[in-house]
A and B are shown apart, each in its own frame.
Chain A
Amino acid sequence: MSKKQPTTLSFLFTPADSAAGEDSNPHAKTSTNVAGTLDALSSRFGDAIEEVTAYAGERTVRVDRARIIELLTFLKEDQGYTYLADLGGIDRFTEDDRYEIMYNLVNMDKGKRIRIVIRVDEDQMVVPSATGVYKAANWNEREVWDMFGIRFDGHNDLRRMFMPDDFEYHPLRKEFPLLGVPGSLPLPPQTPSGGLTLDPFARAHGSVPPKSYDEPAGEDD
């Protein structure tokens, strides 16, 4: 089978390149203004902070992944970010530092929300697990492992979250085809007495269900 090229939009359009200004976003929230935390982070961690980006009033702090646990512990214990709202992976589909993992942390007392991001290279798909700091990271990390194939060092239950344990692929990677991989998931029979199928799109390969749903012909017919 020839390799399918990624689809691009087939007409001309002008992507808006400039990010919208800080104040102009009508949905920007005051909770994402975390200047105090950023100061504390930069004075404590200094060069471990690789980049701070601002978009729509939100701050994304990209940090060195080797120090992520130290940093999360600092945020939780010193800065009051006790609540992990979200944790997820991103496939940037670049050659270097292909994956990203983001941590969405909330400070309930001060009403602040911050996003911490680390990058993961394809050569080294293991990152330290945050479950030791936030228990809530447990299922989210399993989901990242399931969807992107990034392992979490120190996670005590790294099973797949949604897909069955014997599924071989990681679906949210960009190269995983949208229609799935034929033969990767055995499916129940299409009719009550039919056999197992290995392909969700069996019809596309010329397969028809072994029986129709019509009433079988009786002796009188």
Chain B
Amino acid sequence: MSIIEKTDFKEALTFWPRHNEALYRRLESKHAWLEDRHQGDGAPPDALDNEMVLNIGPQHPATHGVLRCAVELDGECIEKCVLDIGYLHRGVEKLAESKTYQEFMPYTDRMDYLSPYSNNVAWCLAVEKVAGIDVPERAQWIRMMMSELARISAHLLWMGVGLMDAGAVSVFLWSFQMREDLYSIFDHVTGARLTVSHSRIGGVVSDLDDTGMDMIRDFVERFPEVHAGWVKLLNRNRIWIDRNVDIGILSKEDAIELGMTGPNLRGSGIAHDIRRFEPYLKYDEVDFTIPIREEGDALARYFVRMEEMMESIKIIRQCLDKLETLKGPIRTDNAKRAYPSKNEVYYSMEGLIHDFMYTDTGVTPPKGGATYHAIEAPKGELGFYVQSDGTGKPFRVKMNTPSFTNLQGLEHMLEGGLMGDMVILIGTVDPVLGEADK
């Protein structure tokens, strides 16, 4: 009898209950740091009548995707918190093992879907490192500029959604106006609004034209003014500050110990940015600063992200100036390492063969080669560990995704906070579950 014909589902239905049981058992047995604090001041925790276990998510608008938090409440205070992720698990690491290196790239679009360009670049750089492929200068500048646009786009969404969590819907609409402009730029330059897949191993797929340059220049001209408007609205906004100040405090030590990354780390006073730490592309040739804040609370992370957007604009300006004069190829001219141009494919036999071979086998890094390459994605360190067995498909891909790393810290951050601050804290960590769940 095949599985489909089975009519008695009783056994199968014990599935989720068992999962939940494990989760609640963990919540019950968890030793949270708050208990230490209670013991420290001598007073036993007075949670006799108010304790309550509450499930938030996975289907809850304020959890930014399918994040499930099981919390134990004492009155309004979160005593313990256990996060449950995996509702969006697609097994991309497994899928990568059966795809050629180039074929896998569209999957990276769908990881952090708020900044797909950064993910493409991260993947391409990782493959280029393991295969030792050089990238033409112009392609590197284009990649860098578009990644910074993606950073602005991701931070805009964080701002809009974060403020909507705090009850201000209008900023959401304003930030989406700017995001719409960014999407138009992506649409024009890459051919797609969201899942761009513009980067290629060994370069990028198409060059920037004058219209694209003008659109970006126009955006860069307009953005500072709009940004100044938001700053004016928010930086001295009583409600926004009161909601954010002194909640979810992470000390320097805690932030490192918990492995926080990106703006969450810099909000705690640690100037760690992969763009400085291990400069990739042309980041060692541009002038920018890394905003940091010492306080480590939600407000500090807000300031860090707001300033990062302006730093991105600074970088994009320098990229635009550079791209004015820097002409040249946008992809490596080596048929074993990068796709040939479409003209070659359409009008020459070799080009067609190369295109076919590259689609079929693709790039073959040396056997036994294994590298880790990280970039500074909008949310933090996004790294790919790629191991090759000499064929056209990776032997093992391990992703180090910032949202996954940051969510672990969120668990710690929520404990001891108030229930009402929870949505703010989730917003301030800025997780994307597509990326955390892999």
Contact = CB atoms under 8 A, between A and B. Distances in A.
B4 interface: yes
Contacts of B258: 135-136
Contact of A198 (B3, B396, B407): B3
Interface in A108-130: 108, 111, 113, 115
Contact of A162 (B3, B26, B89, B130): B89
A176 B259 contact: no
A202 interface: yes
A24 interface: yes
B12 A186 contact: yes
A205 interface: yes
A178 B95 contact: yes
Q: Which 5 A-B pairs have the closest CB atoms?
A: A136-B259, A15-B390, A162-B86, A27-B129, A162-B89
B76 to A, nearest CB: 26
Given A186-B15, A198-B9, 16 more contacts: A15-B364, A15-B391, A19-B369, A26-B134, A29-B278, A82-B256, A83-B272, A86-B385, A89-B398, A108-B256, A111-B278, A164-B18, A164-B86, A172-B94, A183-B3, A205-B4
Given A85-B259, A108-B256, A186-B12, A26 B133 contact: yes
A88 B85 CA distance: 18
Contact of A31 (B21, B277, B366, B385): B277
B4 A206 contact: yes
A196 B23 CA distance: 24
Nearest to A90: B396
A20 interface: yes
Contact of B372 (A115, A166, A206): A115
B343 interface: no
Given A198-B12, A202-B4, A90 B132 contact: no
Interface residues of A, number: 69
B193 to A, nearest CB: 28
A132 to B, nearest CB: 12
Contacts of A196: 9, 12-13
Dominant secondary structure of chain A at its interface with chain B: loop
Interface of A: 9, 11, 13, 15-20, 24-31, 55-56, 58, 60, 82-86, 88-91, 102, 104, 106, 108, 111, 113, 115, 134-136, 138-139, 147, 157, 159-166, 171-172, 176, 178, 182-183, 185-186, 195-199, 202, 205-207
A102 to B, nearest CB: 7
A27 B369 CA distance: 14
Contacts of A183: 3, 12
A166 B13 CA distance: 11
Contacts of B279: 29
Given A26-B132, A164-B15, A198-B4, A56 B371 contact: yes
B263 interface: no
Contacts of B125: 27
A140 to B, nearest CB: 8
A29 B281 CA distance: 11
Contacts of A91: 396
